[in-house]
A and B are shown apart, each in its own frame.
Chain A
């Protein structure tokens, strides 16, 4: 039985805390001893904005908090990439930060690689489209892993988007600081999702989903964003 920390991204606590509970359910079904860590942030918002000193302060708190676990599981490609790669950038001389960063896994990747993964069975009838988050795709290389896991859900048809490699335009503070550009990107992604014929968009990253949903909502399109964690928890039998 592995001792794992479920590191809840700050924006998940903010916008959809139930997703953290869903992730916890799946991890427990895998037989892990799960500690939920909420109220933390990986430091990415400030890091991406260039505010390195503030990013260090916040990441330091996160590094301190993930002490003593076999794995640190983060249900977000973006936060997982930040923790796994950039904690080392922020603390280049800290072996502790490096060691803890090396235990970070994105939730989907962790579940897919878990020794007990084969014991779980997932069943959910319906159709979803897959949104490949840029950080899950490019920083973590998870596209095939996520699709592989979704393919294990019995009764679920997973459709791919025609322009799967294109960013949804969230980008953290980017979507606030350049609203016209970000809105155009989110609208394009919403249109691509609509063209898939699915009404549910699934992704590792809630941030992307909320952004695409916000455009779809404004444009009067019917689209729901479900995280992989929510989808898996609902399909557990």
Chain B
């Protein structure tokens, strides 16, 4: 099936625009505002960090292998999808039940299906992934897999799978899935996660998430496997923080996700493996026209802003990578021509390139890929013939004749054409028919576009910190009364712009934190820094965990539900705030 056939069928049957337009329009505006809360050079810094990765992938991997060796993390590298699947299958040879969290690379290599075919019981533990797994059509968005489904449809899917889904309240539906996932984690043999960055200098794996299922995964007592792309390696902690500063704002308009993990040494008794998947990435890195695509941090900002995605949805792309980045990446990863028409699924409006936080010129790459497709004769023969005729006219001084012919065709089309269902467009008549009478308005002015978000005025750090943390549902106090069930930890630092606290070493014991009825974090006021990038000196060399509000999900109609794996109660005690 072609993109056009899939898009037509989606538009006719599912009307994705009705669900997506309000969500995406709000998200794009909120994302711009979230980014405005970061340092003014946040995007440039992130672009530089990612460009540094892409410029020296092999050098960074060499350093990373040494760092992994020091930590006792196993390094794997797979040239192809099937090799990657083979490595994971081998690692899971003694496992029967596996908890998997969200990973686009795992989707790319078809990991879940391959493992199930081997008889392994794989559970998608991200709420959105769990839902689209039930539906069986795959994710429709890179960070919000179930974006195309409304709550009613989700309730139906859960009920059909045997859940006691009596109403379609997002909170109840989210917690139904949460309970299933939590039970599964108690008895599974291994966990698979993705990664957002892997730090070459220190060998730490950075993973962001909101629900807490990744926290459970990385702390699996026996076996934790990371499946990620070759390009995710970054030079150092500063580069990882630069990426984090733009990732969540661009993806979901959050300052940071609820959990930002810096995963270090394997736990006692645990094995940790990282599988780097090439699957065509080295070839992309070798082509100067497309190399910068490997900067991509999979935030999904390009699809949030894309008009084509908004009206035709993510499933129309027919690829695990959708939206503008999917239209570029898919034909480069699968070079057999099956996605050769995706680069044409764009009006070339350029909004994807404009919002990309790491500066990938996506619409320029779409143009290059179109030229590749034409060169390889993946475009229709009749179209190629038409371009030749067009060039014969306008390239040899016969443009006026062609235009005169065009005017006759236009008139004929106006006479013959009847509006078709799904396409109301009707050619206007040739020539102006305007009179100043049309300048009288039909009604009062509607709402104007919102002004660009103002750069946030620097306020005293503690004021900003209190305000941000409270927005995320955390309680910020100067004193607290201990309660039974509290887990009280000391923060290494805190971040004003995001309302986050940084926990390191023993304080970052993830399962301990998730078990608590309430997490109490003690923060010294003089350890509050302005931005995530300022955390670098506080990160230590071991486990680190940045908490930004309580565990949460927005996988059902983008409604925020707090308290998924882990308590919804987070109390931050600011000491010495005077």
Contacts and interface: CB of A to CB of B under 8 A. Distances in A.
A126 B432 contact: no
B4 A200 contact: no
B370 A159 contact: no
Contacts of B424: 183, 187, 215, 218-219
Interface stretch (B150-158, B225-233, B386-394, B499-507): B386-394
Question: What is the interface of chain B mostly: helix, strand, loop, or mixed?
Answer: helix
B198 to A, nearest CB: 34
B7 A178 contact: yes
A183 B439 contact: no
Nearest to B364: A89
Contacts, number: 240
Interface in B394-450: 394-400, 402-403, 406-407, 410, 419-420, 422-428, 430-432, 434, 436, 438-449
Given A60-B395, A171-B347, A163 B371 contact: no
A172 B348 CA distance: 9
Contact of B379 (A14, A49, A210): A49
B21 to A, nearest CB: 7
B399 A164 contact: no
B308 A181 contact: yes
Contact of B442 (A54, A156, A187, A199): A199
B406 A14 contact: yes
Nearest to A135: B350
A215 B425 contact: yes
A16 B397 contact: no
Contact of A162 (B311, B430, B431, B446): B446
Q: Which of B312, B403, B439 has the most CB of A within 10 A?
A: B439
A122 B354 CA distance: 34
Nearest to B383: A49
A177 B403 contact: no
A222 B350 contact: no
Contact of B449 (A53, A58, A125, A163): A163
Contacts of B95: none
Interface stretch (A23-31, A98-106, A107-115, A190-198): A190-198
Interface in A24-58: 38-41, 45-55, 57-58
B309 to A, nearest CB: 10
Contacts of A169: 307, 347
B52 interface: no
Contacts of B447: 162, 195
B85 to A, nearest CB: 34
Contacts of B350: 134-135, 138-139
A218 B402 CA distance: 27
A164 B449 contact: yes
B441 A15 contact: no
Nearest to A179: B423
B403 A160 contact: no
Nearest to B436: A126
Interface string A173-187: 011011111111111
Nearest to A159: B445
Contact of B403 (A39, A55, A175, A195): A39
Contacts of A134: 347-351
B271 interface: no
A196 B445 CA distance: 5
Interface string A202-224: 00000000110111011100101
B338 interface: no
A61 B347 contact: no
B285 interface: no
B374 interface: yes
Nearest to A183: B423
A114 B109 CA distance: 57
A151 interface: no
Contacts of A210: 428
A214 B174 CA distance: 44
B344 interface: yes
A87 interface: no
A200 B8 contact: no
Contact of B349 (A14, A45, A171): A171
A185 B312 CA distance: 10
Interface string B248-268: 000000000000000000000
Nearest to B341: A177
Contacts of A196: 445-446
Q: Which of B394, B400, B407, B445 has the most CB of A within 10 A?
A: B394
A59 B374 CA distance: 18
A14 B307 contact: no
A179 to B, nearest CB: 5
A226 B449 CA distance: 21
B205 to A, nearest CB: 37
B388 to A, nearest CB: 6
Given A14-B403, A14-B406, A126 B395 contact: no
A218 B426 CA distance: 5
Contacts of B292: none
B371 A182 contact: no
A197 B312 CA distance: 28
B345 interface: yes
Contacts of A195: 446-447
B120 to A, nearest CB: 39
Interface of A: 10, 13-19, 38-41, 45-55, 57-58, 60-61, 124-128, 134-135, 138-139, 156-157, 159-167, 169-172, 174-175, 177-188, 194-200, 210-211, 213-215, 217-219, 222, 224, 226, 230, 234
The 9 nearest A-B residue pairs measured at CB: A126-B439, A171-B347, A50-B370, A218-B424, A57-B395, A39-B399, A167-B349, A50-B374, A54-B391
Given A40-B394, A185-B308, 19 more contacts: A14-B407, A38-B399, A49-B374, A54-B388, A57-B395, A58-B394, A60-B395, A162-B447, A164-B449, A167-B351, A175-B347, A181-B308, A183-B425, A188-B17, A188-B311, A196-B446, A197-B441, A199-B442, A215-B425
Interface of B: 3-4, 7-8, 11-12, 17, 21, 25, 307-308, 311-312, 343-351, 353-354, 367, 369-375, 379, 383-384, 387-388, 390-391, 394-400, 402-403, 406-407, 410, 419-420, 422-428, 430-432, 434, 436, 438-449
26 contacts: A14-B403, A16-B431, A45-B390, A46-B391, A49-B383, A50-B371, A51-B387, A57-B395, A61-B399, A134-B347, A134-B348, A138-B351, A160-B448, A160-B449, A166-B349, A166-B351, A167-B347, A175-B347, A181-B7, A182-B425, A197-B443, A200-B439, A213-B428, A218-B426, A230-B434, A234-B436
